[in-house]
Structure 1
Amino acid sequence: MDVPKYLLEVFKTDTDSQSDIFNGFLQAIPSFVYLLDLTDQKAIYLNTRNNIVSGYSPKELFSNDAEVFPIQNFISAEHFFQFLKDSFKDAAINDSQTLVLKIKTQAGQKITVSNKVTLTEKDDDDLPSVLTVLADDITVQNKIVDKTIQVQNQLNDAEKLFNYGSWEWWVGDNFVIWSDGLYEMFGYDKNDFKDSLMPYGFYQKHISPKDITRVIKVTMDALDERKEIYEYEHEMRDNKGNIKQIAVRGKCFLDEKGEIIRVLGTSHDITEITKIKQELETKVEELSKAYDELRKSKDLFKEAEAMMSYGSYEWNVQKDDIQFSDGLKRLYAGSDITKLPPKLNLDFCYTRIPSEDLENVKNVLHNAIAYKETYSFEHKIVDLDGIEKDVHTKGWVTIDEAGNTLKLIGNTVEVTELKVYEKELERKIEELNQTNQELGQFAYVASHDLKEPLRKITAFGDRLNQKYSQQLDENGRFYLSRMIDSAKRMEVLMENLLSYSRLSRKMVSFERLDLNKTIENVLSDLEIKINETNAQVCVTKMPILEASVTKMHQLFQNLISNALKFVKPNQTPEIHIDAKEATRGELIRLGLDYKNKKYCKITVKDNGIGFEQEYAEKIFVIFQRLHGRAEFDGTGLGLAICRKIVENHQGLIMADGIPDEGATFTIFLPTDPDSLNKKL
């Protein structure tokens, strides 16, 4: 292709060989050179380096046929030329721009071409008309750049994933090159630092004061000694104020003379690892302590076995092999456990069981194996010293996945002394019951036989007072009055004592009882006292029980009477009687039979004089009084009778008091009819 005339004019050559000279010059340029006529929208020159566009002719390269047009990042040749016109619209001659074109070769391969475009001529309207373009294939370079970026991204991802960053320092430079991970670790934006260069010494400013001296020494020693690898850890505070633990590993690179030319290193955020390590160390320490405690417990267990004469065993049913604990060995061996055979089995155990117990033991073990149930039984054994012992054995069965019996595991404890104690206790209980019965009969007879003399004393005293009081002086009338009062108190005391004696001695009949009706009757009996004191009595709905009608009446009459009696002067009594079902937690805490019975919880609360909580049990003891008779009358038997009534109904009564604020009596009574015998 001939060289355009305007190029010849640029070089101002008049010889006939002008075309050949410039052709040679353009062909010698290593880049692909082409000229574009923006007015006619065509290429007016291409040098021989057009292999860069895979041999496309100018017409093909800038074809108006969209199916043929090979430039991928423009829709058509018209679009391409219009873009160039707009780009150089305000440009001056010799102004240049870089343009990247994506070209699809005739073979279907995609290449990337970098084009340096220069404006070389304008038309009469001062618009761009001719462009000179130097093009180079940068496909390979782009792939290398893309690969480099990919590798760098992978390194950045790895740094984020493993919480580390890298740095590089060339000896003598005032800057250190930081990786993206290091910027993120220290809480900085890399864009705030030109070319990712960090001033030398900036890293050290973040190191904890307690570590900085050590870190500098380790680093300087590594440089002085030309260490290839050096390591240390330190604490640091990042730009956001977070405390972190960092592990540093550095590598020194030497020149041919052995001098350090650069240092490359990594900083790894081990904060979480350090925490885990500390937790593991703590766990190891705890496990070590637990092991020591377990060892001590094992020793204590052995001592306890020896002290309490018991032991454990594990019988492998299939192998007929029994493992005895030291305690069980002593139980069977007696004074010397070395007398035991090397292998213990069921036959050995059977030889140590007396014949009268042997059949029962075999039956229990047979049933345990057959039905896979827990077992518990007592029997006798004879140790190797010939001493007979009473023992109690309790155990359970382990099975495999198929349901076959694997092992019998259990404990055997010697109860020889316990058996002796039980027999002695039974004898003592029998004697105590006999004594109690005799005391009860004595109390009944005494109180019953004393009633008649007391009635006579009271009667004659009243007559003497009516007929002869005027003939007595003041002292005589005082003595007579005191005698009559004492006799009446004695009579009341005998009645209460007789009542208490009946509770211990007589069988009480039970029937279905509506407590609402019982309390209603009690309040009716106390109506005069209630009216005299203007007492306020509030009663919620009460339960239905199986109980003694008379005893329940007596129970609540005593409690309400106390609430009306033990009040401060000029105080209006307030009494609240409430009932609800007792909770399982309450029954467990109180030791009541929560499995087989239901209980109601009844409270009788007043606003009276109350009492110190330390006397909560004392007030239920017979003849115990917290106040003198001069303050409040009474015999000291009322609350003792209340407790006896409640206990006879298989219940429980408790008291809570606060001085000058009042007292609360809480009663737990069974509500399930089947849980009580009809007779007590």
Structure 2
Amino acid sequence: MSEYIDYLEMLFDSGENRDIFDKKIAELFPAIIYVFDVEQKRLKFINKKVSDFLGFTYEDIREGNLDTLIFKDDQQLVQQELEKFYTLQNNDSYAYNCRLNHKQGHWRHFRTLGSVLRRKEDGHAASILFIAQDITDQLKSEEEIKAVQELFDETEELLQLGSWSYDIVKKTIHWTNGLYKLFEYTRAELPVITREFYYELISPDDRAGLEAAIKNAYESRSGFEYEYEVITKNKNHKIVSTKAKVVTDTGGTPSKLVGMTRDVTPFRNFERDRERSIRELNRSNRELEEFAYVASHDLQEPLRKISTFGERLQAKFSETLGKEGVLYLERILASTENMRILIDNLLEFSRTTRSSRAFEKVDLNTVIATVKMDLELKIEENNAQIIITSLPKIEAVPSEMKQLFNNLLSNSIKFKKPAVDPVIEIGTEKIGKQEKEKHHLPADKEFFKIYIKDNGIGFEEEYAERIFQIFQRLHGKAEYPGSGIGLAICKKIADNHGGVMYAEGKLGAGATFILILPEKQS
């Protein structure tokens, strides 16, 4: 823009009247042109472009007051900048940035270049010629580019990756900030990155594999993805994954290789730890399951003998044993039966843990209907009322669903209030995002919440988790018979299906058992 200053000075000194001068300037320059009188501190001239850029007319600039144009927060800055023009020598020019007011109330950024137009006899500036170009859009673009770059850098840091490009002809590599951080270098330490230097960072065991992947990408004019180990500046070993594409010139010859390299060390370490933990957990579970199964199975034989010989003793020697002896024998037989039920339930729990998980489409309405038929006698004896709204179809293990609802309905009937007929309500609804987050369930799957609500004796809220633990009981066996395994089996079935089970209740006011099950299995 400085080359225009001399031409404008020539026009201004040409002796032509202001209108002709203003017209020529308006035609030639997309900028605000004005002359500032140093001694009077006012504008001597301003072109009509001020209307195009700022909406002001020449008449709006009262008595040539420059402050009318300058944004109030920049007025002190402009005064300081003007001082620098007063001391310019010869045909030197100087430029500064400031904001100028628009007549409608907002402001725009301008880059103002100026030079002394006339000097006094003592050589000091008498008037100064200025060209002010609107750079608002340019600055906005620069700010956007800066913001995008900052966001890009933050994203790279967050994802622990960096971008790069390799010039095949020059054999030099350009890294983004993310890669400098990944390899623990600064730009000052590595102003130039060569192919040879980068290969020195790669583990010797992986160099040939990466080279082969790159060669294949060149030949196929495509790309590659390769995972390998690198050694950083601080001798840290990292596992990185590189994905790249070949860029060809107009003749189809590979000219560049561009790509991204990501630090996947935490993921690979996590996977190894997870696999090790899963193997250890599976081994432990297998041993526990085998122990429970074998122990339960082996206990059956002595238990059968106790039961058999106890019954023979009762049949043949009741009179000899007397009333007290018979009482003791009856207690032995009752305890034997309780033990048999407990072992059967333990075996059932073990089988649930070892589920084959043969999932298929299951209509829960059909499951409930089957369970009601199985419990028909118990329902009639207790005059129980079961109210069911339409239930969904889900992918599940049919036998486990039957066992789950059998246990829950039996439970609700068993723990009824004295002299009060049981009323059991079963309903369902889909859960939303917040409930998925609450129970740590995957957001991309649909889940149904199924509730089984009764009007029974309920329980205190502090026992809401305890009732699902194996062998945990809140009531005596004489009062409410059972082994304390039924609800534990229910929860295990829910877990096997990738779901959630919990209970809500209030002592004397009934209980609600809530199942959250996925519509489809993975």
Structure-2-length-normalised TM-score:
0.57
Q: 1:347 to 1:616 in 2, by over 3 A?
A: farther
Once the 2 structures are TM-superposed, how far is the Cα of residue 559 of structure 1 from its aligned partner? 0.3
Alpha-carbon distance in 2 for matches of 1:471, 1:533: 41
Q: 1:662 to 1:343 in 2, by over 3 A?
A: farther
Residue 576 (structure 1) aligned with residue 433 (structure 2): no
Equivalent residues in 2 for 1:628-667, closer than 5 Å: 628-667=476-515
Once the 2 structures are TM-superposed, how far is the Cα of residue 539 of structure 1 from its aligned partner? 1.2
SS at match of 1:631: coil
SS at match of 1:552: helix
Q: What residue number does 1:324 align with?
A: 177
Residue 539 (structure 1) aligned with residue 388 (structure 2): yes
Alpha-carbon distance in 1 for matches of 2:208, 2:461: 56
Q: What residue number does 2:207 align with?
A: 355
Q: What residue number does 2:441 align with?
A: 592
Once the 2 structures are TM-superposed, how far is the Cα of residue 599 of structure 1 from its aligned partner? 3.2
Given candidates 222, 226, 229, the residue that maps to 1:380 is 229
Q: 1:511 to 1:407 in 2, by over 3 A?
A: closer
Is the 2:464–2:505 Cα contact (8 Å) retained in structure 1? yes
Q: What residue number does 1:516 align with?
A: 365
Once the 2 structures are TM-superposed, how far is the Cα of residue 457 of structure 1 from its aligned partner? 2.1
Q: What residue number does 1:435 align with?
A: 284
Higher Cα Rg: structure 1 or 2? 1
Structure-1-length-normalised TM-score:
0.45
Is the 2:199–2:207 Cα contact (8 Å) retained in structure 1? no
**Letter of the structure 2 residue corresponding to residue 628 of structure 1:** G
Once the 2 structures are TM-superposed, how far is the Cα of residue 422 of structure 1 from its aligned partner? 4.4
Q: What residue number does 1:605 align with?
A: 453
Q: 1:408 to 1:584 in 2, by over 3 A?
A: farther
Q: What residue number does 1:567 align with?
A: 416
Q: 1:485 to 1:539 in 2, by over 3 A?
A: same
Q: What residue number does 1:495 align with?
A: 344
Q: 1:383 to 1:497 in 2, by over 3 A?
A: same
Q: What residue number does 1:265 align with?
A: none
Is the 2:388–2:425 Cα contact (8 Å) retained in structure 1? yes
**Letter of the structure 1 residue corresponding to residue 510 of structure 2:** G
Residue 616 (structure 1) aligned with residue 464 (structure 2): yes
Residue 481 (structure 1) aligned with residue 330 (structure 2): yes
Q: What residue number does 1:415 align with?
A: 265
SS at match of 2:240: strand
Q: 1:450 to 1:377 in 2, by over 3 A?
A: same
Higher relative contact order (CA 8 A, sep 6+): 2
SS at match of 1:516: helix
Alpha-carbon distance in 2 for matches of 1:612, 1:376: 58
Is the 1:392–1:415 Cα contact (8 Å) retained in structure 2? no
Once the 2 structures are TM-superposed, how far is the Cα of residue 486 of structure 1 from its aligned partner? 1.2
Once the 2 structures are TM-superposed, how far is the Cα of residue 420 of structure 1 from its aligned partner? 5.4
Is the 2:446–2:519 Cα contact (8 Å) retained in structure 1? yes
Q: 1:616 to 1:363 in 2, by over 3 A?
A: farther
Equivalent residues in 2 for 1:660-675, closer than 5 Å: 660-672=508-520, 675=521
Once the 2 structures are TM-superposed, how far is the Cα of residue 408 of structure 1 from its aligned partner? 8.0
**Letter of the structure 1 residue corresponding to residue 207 of structure 2:** S
Is the 1:503–1:645 Cα contact (8 Å) retained in structure 2? yes
Q: 1:392 to 1:627 in 2, by over 3 A?
A: farther
Q: For this pair of structures, how many residues does the alignment match?
A: 355
Q: What residue number does 1:196 align with?
A: none
SS at match of 1:503: helix
Alpha-carbon distance in 2 for matches of 1:494, 1:357: 58
Residue 556 (structure 1) aligned with residue 409 (structure 2): no
Unaligned runs of 5+ in 2: 1-149, 246-255
Q: What residue number does 2:354 align with?
A: 505
Is the 1:497–1:637 Cα contact (8 Å) retained in structure 2? yes
Q: What residue number does 2:51 align with?
A: none
Q: What residue number does 2:36 align with?
A: none
Q: What residue number does 1:42 align with?
A: none
Q: 1:625 to 1:312 in 2, by over 3 A?
A: same
Q: What residue number does 2:82 align with?
A: none
Q: 1:615 to 1:338 in 2, by over 3 A?
A: same
Once the 2 structures are TM-superposed, how far is the Cα of residue 528 of structure 1 from its aligned partner? 2.5
The RMSD of aligned alpha carbons is 4.4
Q: 1:472 to 1:544 in 2, by over 3 A?
A: same
Once the 2 structures are TM-superposed, how far is the Cα of residue 499 of structure 1 from its aligned partner? 1.2
**Letter of the structure 2 residue corresponding to residue 572 of structure 1:** D
Is the 2:230–2:237 Cα contact (8 Å) retained in structure 1? yes
Q: What residue number does 1:462 align with?
A: 311
Once the 2 structures are TM-superposed, how far is the Cα of residue 496 of structure 1 from its aligned partner? 1.0
